[in-house]
Structure 1
């Protein structure tokens, strides 16, 4: 079967720096070139280990995982700036996106994002792009979005950002969000106006282990996505980790993280990428081809804002 030659895929490892078991998995996958890139969490407890490794290797495909939440009891962290609106009653960053959206002061959010960028660059990391932990900046829970602020900072930093222009109809999570097409049209047009490069598609899958799901079913689902990959630049994200007795007991669905690590090393998945004609790439591809005309984007944004 002939396949399109311009189907590019970024496989990004989120949560680099979260913990030692995640660092071990992500370092291994980057060393073996089984994934495209990773994004590092400046406030998290494993940041120093991950950052030192990046600097030592001169790693150029690591971005910034903008982090405003701290979801697990077993691994908590505080903001870098210490503003009270960024913390819950325990003194750590909010556990949920909804809590963050309701409580966070916008000016404090911007200062925190600036501090996280400064910490990563001061550690010697040449950042490739930026994205967002748990989607806390997107306004998915209450409608209170910080995407304009994030895009303004990415324009300042000259970094691509994880948004997407189109919703793949086969994506069960993103396609099921009410009004998602309109939301995407506004956000992607705003990125164009600000001169921020973004991918064409984002492919998601459940963070949790689904009822009846095992590794083989998970692998089959992920392989099927490779054959359904649309033309253009797509990104999917994983949270790989090695086995860890304590965290497997204390972090919900830790086993899914172990599956994701295992999948990247699985010969069946590597074969599927080749057989499906998928070009594994990184955010260099987005930087080169992910921008749109500012004037055209301004017209697209105006049209999107006028739609009901």
Structure 2
């Protein structure tokens, strides 16, 4: 189990606690089975190190690319409505070897350079707050109470289609600030879209993981780690210990690298330190040395996507 430390961010952990998730390991997880599906030995320690929020703003984009090319991360997730998304897609076109998913976005968690839906606002009124903007993380309960599934589908399709029309090939779908979509019907909608577009889906919680396991699809065996959970003090040492303690089977870390630029400090005053320290560890010699010493395998959603394609066709 990846232990949960103090939450210092704005998104996923608060939502999960509010909805009763206790962060205990899933009893039905079977590392041997998951490793077998992915073609790894039963005792292999496998981790997806996925970099969320690619496209939020340019200094995040630069850190994401560096953390994959010069660091230990294996993939990233693109926020299509954000101000830095066009720059991120340009980078992905230049670097087609980088696997990435689509970080489906219904929430805006910045006060500067705010983003909105890709769909015309008059077509998705249930996704907007009283000011006609995307909801903030603090208002997620209101968003989830109001959001009409048809309007969610319109916006999700707009985000996926924008990526496809840019000539890019994503591997999977996940969500920004809404673990497993936030509602059962949104999760089911996302799985349906994944099947239609030939993608995988990130599932972190039960019963979503159980639903996919019953369909013969690989999911993570252990509780996910979101880098906003970790204290800033001693963070590198904490990351190092988590790697050394990584259990057999498939784990996933959602990490949020960024650079501590003036832009980042202005746009993301509550998060830039988390992002900067994530970037520092991911690109450190120590991180790579630990992977080698411990025999840890870093994978990404390409293998999972292929299993989705094989089992759902």
Q: Same fold (TM over 0.5)?
A: yes
5 Å matches for 1:207-218? Answer: 207=228, 210=231, 213-214=232-233, 217-218=234-235
Look up the match of 1:203. 224
Q: Secondary structure at the match of 1:134?
A: coil
Which among 189, 192, 195 is matched to residue 155 of structure 1? 195
Look up the match of 2:129. 88
**Cα distance, 1:155–1:201 mapped onto 2, change above 3 Å:** farther
Is 1:16 the counterpart of 2:54 in the alignment?
Answer: yes
Deviation of 1:196 (Å): 5.6
Is 1:65 the counterpart of 2:103 in the alignment?
Answer: yes
Q: Secondary structure at the match of 1:146?
A: helix
Distance 1:291 1:21 in 2: 34
**Cα distance, 1:33–1:285 mapped onto 2, change above 3 Å:** farther
Which among 243, 246, 253 is matched to residue 260 of structure 2? 243
Deviation of 1:66 (Å): 0.7
Q: CA RMSD in A?
A: 2.6
CA deviations over 1:22-78 (Å, ceiling 9, x no partner): 011112223335310011111111111110111122245011111110011023111
Look up the match of 1:287. 305
**Cα distance, 1:40–1:72 mapped onto 2, change above 3 Å:** same
**Cα distance, 1:42–1:237 mapped onto 2, change above 3 Å:** same
TM-score (ref. length: structure 2): 0.77
CA deviations over 1:129-174 (Å, ceiling 9, x no partner): 11111125533xxx6651111111112222111114xxxxxxxxxx
Deviation of 1:91 (Å): 2.7
Contact 1:199–1:290, Cα closer than 8 Å, also in 2: no
Is 1:46 the counterpart of 2:84 in the alignment?
Answer: yes
Distance 1:31 1:13 in 2: 12
Distance 2:170 2:299 in 1: 16
Give the structure, 1 or 2, with the largest relative contact order (CA under 8 Å, sep 6 or more).
2
Distance 2:170 2:218 in 1: 14
5 Å matches for 1:15-34? Answer: 15-32=53-70, 34=72
Does 219-228 or 53-62 show the bigger shift?
53-62
Distance 1:153 1:262 in 2: 35
Q: Secondary structure at the match of 2:302?
A: helix
Which among 142, 162, 177 is matched to residue 119 of structure 1? 162
TM-score (ref. length: structure 1): 0.78
**Cα distance, 1:57–1:11 mapped onto 2, change above 3 Å:** same
**Cα distance, 1:246–1:56 mapped onto 2, change above 3 Å:** closer
Distance 1:12 1:29 in 2: 10
**Cα distance, 1:42–1:196 mapped onto 2, change above 3 Å:** farther
Look up the match of 1:74. 112
Distance 2:180 2:132 in 1: 20
**Cα distance, 1:292–1:189 mapped onto 2, change above 3 Å:** farther
Q: Which runs of 5+ in 1 are unaligned?
A: 165-182, 295-308
The total of aligned residue pairs comes to: 266
Look up the match of 1:101. 144
Deviation of 1:290 (Å): 7.3
